[in-house]
Structure 1
Amino acid sequence: MLAKLTSKNQLTLPKSITQNLGSVEYFEVTVQNGQIILTPVRIQRADAVRAKLASLNLNEEDIANAVTWARQP
């Protein structure tokens, strides 16, 4: 399957490929042995992170303590 690189450095992925991935907006792009590797990345929105923290009963003080602990030498 071919994909054409435009003069603006844009690449359109074939629909048959993207349909297999689901709803992906972002890709991690790497080059390995002369090949371009696209890895789907699902970005979590801040609201999802806040909801997860709330479900774990974590508050701002808990987060601050965790960051302090993680930054210890």
Structure 2
Amino acid sequence: MLAKITSKNQLTLPKSITAAVGPAEYFDVEARNGQIVLTPVRIQRGDAVRAKLAELDLSEQDIADAVDWARSTPLSDKPAK
């Protein structure tokens, strides 16, 4: 399926493609092996994030402590994913 890029680097995706991946306002874009790859990204709203934090029983201080730890710890000392 063809899509044309405009002089302003805008690209209109065919409706059949967007229908196949579901509604998405944002896409992660990367170049892979000479191809442009678009991956839909679901941006969580703040209230959804707060609900998840409450579900996990995490406080704002827990998050602040985790950020401080991540910023102060060398990458080699951090556990692998």
Fold match by TM threshold 0.5: yes
TM-score range, shorter chain: 0.7 to 0.9
| Residue 72 of structure 1, CA deviation | 4.6
Q: Residue 58 of structure 2 corresponds to which residue in structure 1?
A: 58
How many residue pairs match? The answer is: 73
Unpaired runs of 5+ residues, structure 1, are none
1:8-47 equivalent positions in 2, closer than 5 A: 8-47=8-47
Q: Percent identity among equivalent residues?
A: 73
Identify, as 1 or 2, the structure richer in helix: 2
Please, which moves more after superposition, 12-21 or 60-69?
Answer: 60-69
Q: TM-score, normalised by structure 2?
A: 0.75
Structure with larger RCO (C-alpha < 8 A, sep 6+): 1
RMSD: 1.6
Give CA deviations for 1:11-43 in whole Å, capped at 9, x if unaligned.
001001100111111111111221111111111
The structure-2 alpha-carbon separation of the partners of 1:60 and 1:17, relative to structure 1 and needing over 3 Å to count, comes to same
User: Structure 1 residues 16, 59: closer, same or farther in 2, change over 3 A?
Assistant: same
